[in-house]
Structure formats: C-alpha cells, structure tokens
C-alpha cells in the first residue's frame, strides 16, 4: 500500500463521511449536492490532516516508538517528520479552501468554526500541551466529528439548526468517539509508559472497555430517540455492534484489537447509511 494512503488511515474516514451523509438526508428537499460535496471535502481532508498531524507529533516526541497498532510513517521511518508535517498542512489547506467556499455560500461565521476545527486537529497531539495527552480527545471528536459535522452540514443546506439535527449528531459523535476509544484501548499500556494520559489510561482498562460499549449503546438509542419508525433500520447493524462489543469486553488486547478499529469504522459507515435512509423516507 502507498505509504501516504497508509498514513491517511482510511479506516478512520467513516467518522468524516457518515455525518455528512446523515445531515444531507435530513435536509430532505432542501439538500444541495454541491454544498454536500464541499462539506464532505472539509470533513475528509480534516480527518486526513488530523491523522498526519498525529503521526508527526507522536513520531517526533517518540510516543510511537513501540506502538502495537497500524504502521506510523515517522516512527517507522517511512517518511521524515518534515514530510508528514507538510502532508498535514496540505490536508488542512484543502479542507480550508473547501470550508471557505462553503462558508461564503452559507454563513461567514462558519469560518470561525473552521479555524477552531483546525486548531483542535493540530492541538490533539501537537504543541507543548496536547489535549489528547490529557484525556480530552473524545470530547473534541464528539464536538467536531459529531455535532459540528452533522449540524454544520445540515445548516449549510437548509439555513437553519433544528432539534432533530442536533439529535442526529449524537449517534455520529458517539460512533466517531468509539473509533478513537478502541484505538486508545489498544494502545493503553504503551501510552501509559510514555505519559500519554488518554481517557483510556485515565479510566483504566476495564472501565475503558465498558465506556466503549456505552458509546455504541448511545448511538443506537439516540437514533431510536428520534421517534421515527424508520429509525428501526439502524438495528440491522446490531449483529455487528454485538460482535465488536463481545470482542472488546472479552479482554482482547494488543494486536487482537487492530481489526476492531476497521470494524468500528465500518459500523459507523453502515449505521450512517441506514440512518440516512431512515431520515430520507420520513
């Protein structure tokens, strides 16, 4: 696999794609394909930028020296720190251009949200006091890949924010957090050794696994909480939810958790498509 595709971590991209799909479906007859595409470009390139930035920052700090998870570019020597840093900035630039265009079509206030999103993306593991090292990663993911991505996409197409759009953002944010959570459970021991105090490290292995299950439960329950009979379609992914949950709660660790990152990403994508279908036919 091309090293830059590897570094972009395609398995995490459903966190950026699913909210746009759901919000666009919710927009109904007000949907605008061009604005939806711009929103998708913002989300995907922001996610890729986060992944490269994380690779760079952890690599130069030595946090990835003995990691168990998928190969990192800097730590493995596949690319230099400078190259990966430039890749992160290029990704953020692409997201910024699409975001600026989208804001000019809808609301200039979105520019401020975009600046905050990029600052949060870099600050996750970058800088002197990265908040990802303090257990706040999941909070940021929920805000930007849940609330902001879903409600923001809906707003750019309809010009309004509804209570339903906020509720629809909850399962998207919860599942995006689950992707990060299973990643952090896998890396818990190594993160603790290098002083990376992720939420999983702070909670401890057992509670972190239970919290992962809670995130999946919130996703399902919040979709049903919309009160739409069609939201029952999301239960079609319940077998996958149960399968992932069993693997995590059974104590699978280290390399055994690597496939679960991809499976959790697939869960969000499948869930998002079914949820979008439910919203489209309401």
* Cβ-based neighbour number of residue 200 at 10 Å: 29
How confident is the model at residue 252, as a pLDDT? Answer: 80
The DSSP secondary structure of 75-107, one letter per residue, reads: HHTSS-HHHHHHHHHHHHHHHHHHHHHHHHHS-
- Whole-angstrom Cα distance, residue 275 to residue 231? 6
Return d(Cα 173, Cα 222) in angstroms, integer. 11
- Percentage of the chain lying above the pLDDT 70 cut: 96
pTM score, whole prediction: 0.93
Return all residues near 146 (Cβ < 8 A) that are at least 6 apart: 19, 169, 170, 172, 173, 174, 176, 177
Query: Which of 45-49, 52-56, 90-94, 191-195 shows the lowest per-residue confidence on average (mean pLDDT)?
Result: 191-195
For residue range 246-269, list pLDDT tens digits in order: 999 998 887 788 889 889 999 999
pLDDT digits (tens, 9 = 90+) for 10-24: 989 999 999 999 999
Question: What is the rounded CA–CA span in Å between residue 175 and residue 19?
Answer: 10
Tokens of 105: 């079509």
Pair 80, 74: CB distance under 8 Å: yes
Instruction: Give me the pLDDT at residue 66, please.
Output: 62
CA angle, 83 as apex, 184 and 71 as ends, to 5°? 35
**Spatial separation of the C-alpha atoms in residues 250 and 14, rounded to whole Å:** 25
227 has pLDDT over 80: yes
Identify which has the larger pLDDT, 189 or 108. 108
Residues 6+ apart with CB under 8 A from 212: 178, 181, 182, 185, 245, 248
Contacts with 97 (C-beta within 8 Å, 6 or more apart), sequence order: none
Maximum Cα–Cα distance across the chain = 52
Domains, the chain, in order of start with CATH, read 3-280 (1.10.600)
Interval 129-176: pLDDT, tens: 889 888 899 999 999 999 999 999 999 999 999 999 999 999 999 999
The gap from C-alpha 2 to its chain's centroid, in whole angstroms, comes to 22
More confident residue, 221 or 62: 221
- Lookup: tokens for 81: 């720190």
With a cut of 70, say whether residue 69 has pLDDT above it: no
């Amino acid at each position: 696999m091309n090293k830059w595709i590897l570094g972009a971590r395609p398995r995490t991209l459903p966190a950026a794609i699913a909210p746009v799909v759901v919000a666009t479906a919710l927009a109904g007859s007000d949907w605008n394909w061009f604005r939806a595409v711009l929103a998708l470009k913002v989300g995907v390139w922001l996610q890729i930028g986060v992944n490269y930035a994380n690779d760079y920052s952890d690599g130069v700090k030595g946090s990835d020296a003995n990691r168990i998870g998928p190969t990192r570019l800097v730590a493995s020597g596949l690319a230099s720190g400078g190259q990966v840093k430039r890749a992160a900035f290029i990704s953020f630039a692409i997201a910024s251009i699409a975001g600026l265009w989208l804001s000019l079509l809808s609301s200039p206030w979105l520019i401020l949200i975009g600046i905050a999103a990029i600052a949060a993306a870099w600050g996750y593991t970058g800088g002197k006091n990265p908040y990802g090292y303090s257990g706040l990663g999941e909070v940021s993911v929920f805000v930007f890949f849940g609330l902001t991505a879903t409600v923001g996409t809906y707003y750019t197409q309809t010009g309004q924010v509804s209570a339903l759009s906020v509720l629809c953002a909850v399962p998207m944010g919860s599942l995006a957090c689950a992707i990060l959570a299973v990643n952090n459970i896998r890396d818990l021991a190594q993160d603790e050794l290098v002083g990376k105090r992720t939420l999983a490290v702070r909670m401890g292995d057992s509670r972190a696994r239970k919290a992962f299950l809670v995130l999946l439960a919130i996703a399902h329950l919040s979709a049903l909480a919309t009160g739409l009979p069609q939201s029952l379609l999301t239960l079609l992914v319940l077998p996958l939810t149960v399968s992932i949950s069993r693997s995590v709660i059974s104590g699978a660790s280290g390399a055994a958790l690597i496939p679960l990152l991809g499976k959790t990403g697939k869960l969000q994508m499948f869930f998002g498509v079914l949820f979008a279908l439910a919203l489209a036919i309401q």
